[in-house]
A = this chain, B = another copy of it.
């Protein structure tokens, strides 16, 4: 999917705006003023706002997905290290104090999204749950982790906690929220000091 440099810049800005304000709380004007281009020019690259929204979520999910695949394919690393690397993108969001996960933000206005975007958000969460489940299964077999529940249910808990932590951290202005949740998650995963 080849796109021009301008289209990439537009998507970068749209991604940031969705992460900070939400899909229905930003306008083409926000983008045009931020990157010095006219409203109509954005429509040239993305005819409708839905087109832009779908492109941004697809790119985000793809980018994240490639990282997931890269991480899971390295068998030499301890599972806890793999998990910590998985957390890196979240931690960058946490450090920003402004952004949350793109799909976490979109989930709050899910029923007000165009159908195509809803499908993409759904796919993002499904992919992450599935990935977490897989590494938890592996760590359970090797004895690295000691889970409170099945890998599937534990994966659901962890994903929900990470997404919720970013949202709550920003709402409370509590810079330790995310790290505290991660500390609890890690302790939960290695209850017997197994790691």
Contacts and interface: CB of A to CB of B under 8 A. Distances in A.
Interface in A68-119: 98, 100, 103-112, 118
Contact of A168 (B21, B100, B163, B183): B163
A24 interface: yes
Given A22-B24, A100-B108, A118-B171, A160 B165 contact: yes
A162 interface: yes
Q: How large is the interface on A (under 10, 10 to 19, 20 to 34, 35 or more residues)?
A: 35 or more
Given A161-B161, A181-B160, A108 B153 contact: no
Contacts of A125: 168, 171-172
A106 B167 CA distance: 9
A143 interface: no
| Interface-central residue, A24, A111, A164, by most chain B CB under 10 Å | A164
Contacts of A22: 22, 24, 108-109, 112
Contacts of A168: 107, 125, 156, 159-160, 163
Interface string A47-68: 0000000000000000000000
B25 A126 contact: no
Contacts of A36: none
Given A104-B164, A156-B181, 8 more contacts: A21-B109, A22-B22, A24-B109, A107-B170, A125-B171, A159-B168, A164-B167, A191-B191
Interface of A: 20-22, 24-26, 98, 100, 103-112, 118, 121-122, 125-126, 148-149, 152-154, 156-157, 159-165, 167-168, 170-173, 177, 180-181, 183-185, 187-188, 191
30 contacts: A20-B112, A21-B112, A22-B22, A25-B109, A26-B112, A100-B108, A103-B171, A105-B108, A106-B108, A106-B171, A107-B167, A107-B170, A109-B109, A110-B171, A122-B172, A148-B188, A149-B188, A152-B180, A153-B183, A153-B184, A154-B184, A156-B180, A157-B181, A157-B188, A159-B164, A159-B168, A160-B164, A162-B164, A164-B164, A191-B191
